[in-house]
């Protein structure tokens, strides 16, 4: 009789309790796994957001290296003002038609002929270098004036970049 009571106790109480514990354990493991994925996703989202903000700053900086299309006259005026401020004469020969590079960007040739004394030429070059836009120089040539050795002519040819913003 005791055996039957124990058997009934095992079959009707202990076995279902063990099954319930096993099921709860599996549900806990699944929930834990789901939470770990959500945490990892949350961390990834935070990292992606940080990376995006850094890239956004870079994009703003990259936009500054381009001369905005249809603002070429402002660019030329800026070059002329740099030359005037540094007491050099400047001849500008741009080709704003340039070569399409895709994504509303264009590479254009720009030739500069700058005349002045050595110090003023160097000052002009430093000012040109400090401009935010890119001017990639292909050719650079100093020429001395036969009549006036204080006067030098600097011929520069290179590429500038235009973008429709």
Per-residue pLDDT 10s for the chain (165 aa) are 776 666 666 677 777 777 888 888 888 889 888 888 877 777 777 788 888 888 887 777 777 778 878 888 898 999 999 999 999 999 999 988 878 887 788 888 999 999 999 999 999 999 999 888 888 899 989 888 777 778 899 999 999 888 876
Residue 3 has what pLDDT?
67
Residue 113 has what pLDDT?
95
* Phi/psi at 70 (5° precision): 75, 10
* Length of the chain measured in residues: 165
The answer for 70, left when phi > 0, alpha when psi is -120 to 50, beta otherwise, is left
Burial of 156 (0-12, 13-18, 19+ CB in 10 A): middle
Residue 13 has what pLDDT?
73
Q: How far apart are the first and last CA of the chain?
A: 92
């Amino acid at each position: 009789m005791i055996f039957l009571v124990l058997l009934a106790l095992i079959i009707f109480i202990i076995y279902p309790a063990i099954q319930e514990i096993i099921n709860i354990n599996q549900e806990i493991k699944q929930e834990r796994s789901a939470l770990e994925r959500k945490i990892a996703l949350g961390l990834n989202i935070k990292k992606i957001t940080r990376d995006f903000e850094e890239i956004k700053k870079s994009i703003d900086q990259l936009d500054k290296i381009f001369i905005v299309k249809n603002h070429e006259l402002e660019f030329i005026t800026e070059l002329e003002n740099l030359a005037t401020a540094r007491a050099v004469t400047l001849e500008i020969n741009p080709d704003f038609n340039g070569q399409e590079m895709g994504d509303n960007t264009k590479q254009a040739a720009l030739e500069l002929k700058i005349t002045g004394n050595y110090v003023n030429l160097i000052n002009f070059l430093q000012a040109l270098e400090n401009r935010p836009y890119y001017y990639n120089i292909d050719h650079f040539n100093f020429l001395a004036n036969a009549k006036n050795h204080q006067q030098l002519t600097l011929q520069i040819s290179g590429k500038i970049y235009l973008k429709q913003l």
